[in-house]
C-alpha cells in the first residue's frame, strides 16, 4: 500500500511527532528524512532550563526544607505546650525512611506560604518538560523521551520521589534515548528516584554486615520489576528463585543518607554494608560478588537477552504504530536491537524505515498527554503557568510522573476510550481561551493536510461559532487518532 508524499509527511508529524505547529506541514519534503534528521540532531531532546537541580541537590533541598518545617513545628508545639512527641527518628543508615517523610508533613501550615520545596521543584521540572514538548521541531525525540520515561516510570506520589522525578528523566532517560539500552538500564536502576520508588534503597542482604546485625533483610520489589517490566518481560522463564537472587545482588544499591552527609546526601551510593556477600545464580548464570559490578553484570546480561529485545521491540511498535503491532515489525526491531547490541538510535531508525510503521491504519488513539500537547501546538497556545496543564493531565487520567503502578500508563487505545468526554471538555476550554482569532477551517487544512476528512471539513464549516469549530477540530477522529 503506497501512500503519497504529502500523506507521509503528515503521518511523520502526527504518528511520530507531536503534530505540526501551524505552517510546519507544508514545508516538509521527505518524511523519513525529517525524522532521521531530528534523531541525528544532538540539540533535540534537551532541556533548556539550566537552573534545574540535579537529583542530589533536589534531594538535599527537600531534606533541608523538611528539617526547617519540623523545627518550626517543634517550636510551635513547645509554645502550645503540646504533649505530642516528635516523629520517630529514622535509623541513621536507613536512607529511605529518612527520605520518605510523608509529603503531607510538609503540607503548608495554616498561614499558607505556597507550595513546599518538593512541589516547587516538581512544578519547575514540569514546566521545562512542557516547554521542551511545545518547542520541539517534529517532537520525535521528545516522544521517545516520553516513551522511555513511561517504560522506566517512577511516581511522585511515593515518599521522597516528588522532587526527583524531573531530574530522573533528565539524568537517566534523556541522555540515552538515542544511546545504548544497557546504559539507560544501568542509569535508571541505580538512580535514587528508582531506588526509592521500588524500595531498593532500604533492601538489605540477610547475610550482609547490616543484615546480621539488625535482623533486617531483602525487599524484592525492584528486582522483580526489572525482570518483569524493564527488561525480559513477564512470563519469559525466570523463576521466583531468580527474583530472590537478583534482589540479593542489588542489595547495597542505595542512597547517601542526607542526615549524615550534607555534601552528597540523596546521591546514589553502593553501600557494601547492606550488600549480600557471595556469588548468585540467576537464570542459569553465576555472578561473582564484586560489589556494585555484580548487579551491573546482571543488568548487562539482561540487556542482551533476546527476550528483552522482543519486549522492547513490542512496546516501541505498540506505542508508535498499533495496539497489536504487526509481527514482522516486531521481529525487525528485535533483530536490530540484538545485532546492534541495543543501540536505540539504530532500533529507532529501523522503526522509521519499516514500511509497516507507515502502512498501519491510523486508528491508534493518542494518549491523553500526547493529545494535549498536540492540541496546544496546533492552536499555538503556550500556557504561561504549567498548573492548568497538569490539572488537565490529571483530569484525563494521566497525571505527570504519577503512574498508579510501575507498569506505567497503558499504550492501548481501549484503556483511554472512556476519557473522550473529558477531552471534549478540555477542547472546549482551549477553544474558549484561543478566542475567535483563529480560523478553524484554515487551521484544520494546515495541521491535518491530506488527513482531513470531508466529514470533518463539513462539520467545521457548519459550526455555530469559531470556538465551537475549534473544539470540534481538536476532537475530530483524525486529530484523536494517528
Partner 1 sequence: MTFLRHRATRRELLLGSGALFAWAYVPRLALAEGRDPRLLVIVLRGALDGLAAVAPVGDPDWQRLRGNDALTLQGADATLPLDGFFALNPAMPNLHRLYKSQQATIVHAVATPYRERSHFDGQDVLESGFTRPGSTESGWLNRVLVNLPSAGRVNPKNAFAVGPITPLVARGPAPVLSWTPSRLQPASNDTMSRLLDLYRHSDPVLARALEERGALNAIVQPGPIDANPMKSPGKPGEAIRAYFTEAASAAAKFMARTDGPRVGALAFDGWDTHANEGAAHGRLAMLLGALDGALGAIESGLGEAWRESVVAVITEFGRTARINGTDGTDHGTATVALLVGGALKGGRVIADWPGLKEMNLYEGRDLKPTNDLRAVIKGLLRDHLRADERVLANDVFPGSQTVKPLDGLMT
| Closest to partner 1 by CB, 35 or 376 | 376
Here's the x/- map for partner 1, 124-163, by CB under 8 A: it reads as ---------------------------------x----x-
Long-range contacts of the stretch 472-476 (C-beta < 8 A, 24+) = 472/427, 472/440, 473/378, 473/440, 473/443, 473/444, 473/447, 474/375, 474/378, 474/379, 474/423, 474/427, 474/430, 474/431, 475/420, 475/423, 475/424, 475/427, 476/444, 476/448, 476/452
Q: Under a CB-based contact definition with an 8 Å cutoff, are residues 222 and 194 in contact?
A: yes
Q: Under a CB-based contact definition with an 8 Å cutoff, are residues 159 and 184 in contact?
A: no
Site for partner 1 in 320-379 (CB under 8 A): 363, 368
CA atoms within 13 A on the CB side of 183: 14
Backbone angles phi, psi at 354, to 5 degrees: -80, 125
Please pick, from the candidates 416, 434, 447, 449, the single residue that binds partner 1 as defined by CB under 8 A. Answer: 416
| Closest to partner 1 by CB, 297 or 395 | 395
| Closest to partner 1 by CB, 63 or 140 | 63
* ∠ Cα 48 119 66 (to 5°): 125
Please pick, from the candidates 32, 304, 428, 445, the single residue that binds partner 1 as defined by CB under 8 A. Answer: 428
Q: What distance in Å separates the CA atoms of residue 221 and residue 224, rounded to the nearest whole number? A: 5
Closest approach, Cβ 58 to partner 1, in A, equals: 15
Query: Binding residues for partner 1, how many (CB under 8 A)?
Result: 82
CA atoms within 13 A on the CB side of 121: 26
Any contact of residue 450 with partner 1 (CB under 8 A)? no
Strand partners, 481: 365
Closest approach, Cβ 142 to partner 1, in A, equals: 23
Residue holding cell 497538569? Answer: 390
Query: In this chain, which stretch among 33-41, 76-84, 144-152, 399-407 interacts with partner 1, using CB under 8 A?
Result: 399-407
| Closest to partner 1 by CB, 336 or 364 | 364
Query: In this chain, which stretch among 45-53, 132-140, 257-265, 467-475 interacts with partner 1, using CB under 8 A?
Result: 467-475
Cα 310 to the center of its chain, rounded Å: 20
Any contact of residue 123 with partner 1 (CB under 8 A)? yes
Please pick, from the candidates 51, 263, 286, 464, the single residue that binds partner 1 as defined by CB under 8 A. Answer: 464
Closest approach, Cβ 406 to partner 1, in A, equals: 8
| Closest to partner 1 by CB, 76 or 405 | 405
Any contact of residue 426 with partner 1 (CB under 8 A)? yes
> The C-alpha cell of 466 is what?
469559531
Closest approach, Cβ 399 to partner 1, in A, equals: 7
Q: Under a CB-based contact definition with an 8 Å cutoff, are residues 474 and 427 in contact?
A: yes
Please pick, from the candidates 42, 78, 421, 437, the single residue that binds partner 1 as defined by CB under 8 A. Answer: 421
Please count the other Cβ atoms lying within 10 Å of the Cβ belonging to residue 41: 15
CA atoms within 13 A on the CB side of 319: 23
Closest approach, Cβ 278 to partner 1, in A, equals: 16
Please pick, from the candidates 398, 411, 441, 446, the single residue that binds partner 1 as defined by CB under 8 A. Answer: 398
Any contact of residue 107 with partner 1 (CB under 8 A)? yes
Q: What distance in Å separates the CA atoms of residue 177 and residue 45, rounded to the nearest whole number? A: 9
Here's the x/- map for partner 1, 174-213, by CB under 8 A: it reads as ------------------------xx--xxx-x----x--
Q: What distance in Å separates the CA atoms of residue 68 and residue 142, rounded to the nearest whole number? A: 37
Please pick, from the candidates 234, 260, 327, 436, the single residue that binds partner 1 as defined by CB under 8 A. Answer: 234
Amino acid at each position: 500500500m503506497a501512500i503519497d508524499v504529502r500523506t507521509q509527511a503528515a503521518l511523520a508529524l502526527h504518528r511520530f511527532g507531536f503534530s505540526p505547529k501551524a505552517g510546519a506541514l507544508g514545508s516538509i519534503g521527505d518524511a523519513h528524512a525529517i525524522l532521521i534528521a531530528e534523531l541525528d540532531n544532538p540539540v533535540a531532546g534537551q532541556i533548556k532550563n539550566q537552573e534545574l537541580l540535579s537529583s542530589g541537590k533536589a534531594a538535599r533541598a527537600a531534606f533541608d526544607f523538611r528539617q526547617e518545617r519540623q523545627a518550626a513545628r517543634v517550636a510551635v508545639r513547645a509554645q502550645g505546650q503540646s504533649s505530642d512527641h516528635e516523629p520517630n527518628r529514622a535509623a541513621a543508615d536507613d536512607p529511605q525512611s529518612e527520605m520518605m517523610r510523608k509529603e503531607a508533613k510538609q503540607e503548608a501550615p495554616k498561614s499558607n506560604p505556597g507550595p513546599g520545596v518538593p512541589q516547587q521543584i516538581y512544578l519547575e521540572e514540569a514546566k521545562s518538560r512542557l516547554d521542551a514538548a511545545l518547542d520541539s521541531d517534529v517532537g520525535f525525540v521528545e516522544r521517545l523521551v516520553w516513551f522511555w520515561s513511561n517504560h522506566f516510570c517512577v511516581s511522585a506520589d511515593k515518599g521522597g520521589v516528588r522532587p526527583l522525578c524531573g531530574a530522573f528523566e533528565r539524568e537517566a532517560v534523556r541522555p540515552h534515548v538515542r544511546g545504548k539500552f544497557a546504559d539507560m538500564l544501568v542509569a535508571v536502576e541505580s538512580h535514587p528516584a528508582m531506588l526509592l520508588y521500588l524500595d531498593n534503597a532500604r533492601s538489605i542482604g540477610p547475610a550482609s554486615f547490616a543484615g546480621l546485625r539488625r535482623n533486617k533483610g531483602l525487599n524484592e520489589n525492584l528486582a522483580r520489576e526489572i525482570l518483569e517490566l524493564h527488561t525480559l518481560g513477564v512470563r519469559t522463564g525466570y523463576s521466583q528463585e531468580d527474583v530472590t537472587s537478583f534482589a540479593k545482588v542489588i542489595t547495597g544499591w542505595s542512597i547517601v543518607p542526607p542526615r549524615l552527609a550534607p555534601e552528597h546526601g540523596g546521591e546514589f551510593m553502593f553501600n557494601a554494608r547492606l550488600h549480600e556477600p557471595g556469588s548468585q545464580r540467576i537464570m542459569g548464570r553465576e555472578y561473582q560478588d564484586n560489589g556494585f559490578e555484580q548487579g551491573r553484570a546482571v543488568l548487562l546480561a539482561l540487556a542482551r537477552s533476546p527476550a528483552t529485545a522482543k519486549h522492547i521491540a513490542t512496546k516501541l511498535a505498540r506505542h508508535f504504530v498499533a495496539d497489536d503491532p504487526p509481527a514482522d515489525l516486531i521481529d525487525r526491531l528485535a533483530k536490530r536491537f540484538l545485532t546492534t547490541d541495543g543501540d536505540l538510535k539504530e532500533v529507532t531508525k529501523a522503526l522509521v524505515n519499516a514500511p509497516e510503521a507507515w502502512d498501519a491504519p491510523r486508528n491508534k488513539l493518542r494518549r491523553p498527554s500526547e493529545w494535549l500537547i498536540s492540541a496546544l501546538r496546533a492552536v499555538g497556545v503556550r500556557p504561561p503557568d504549567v498548573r492548568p496543564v497538569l490539572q488537565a493531565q490529571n483530569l484525563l487520567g494521566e497525571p505527570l510522573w504519577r503512574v498508579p503502578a510501575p507498569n506505567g500508563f497503558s499504550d492501548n487505545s481501549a484503556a483511554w476510550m472512556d476519557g473522550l468526554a473529558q477531552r471534549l471538555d478540555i477542547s472546549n476550554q482551549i477553544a474558549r481561551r484561543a478566542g475567535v482569532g483563529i480560523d478553524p477551517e484554515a487551521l484544520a487544512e494546515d495541521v491535518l493536510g491530506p488527513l482531513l476528512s470531508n466529514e470533518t471539513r463539513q462539520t467545521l464549516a457548519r459550526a455555530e461559532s469559531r470556538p465551537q469549530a475549534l473544539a470540534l477540530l481538536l476532537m475530530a477522529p483524525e486529530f484523536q487518532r494517528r
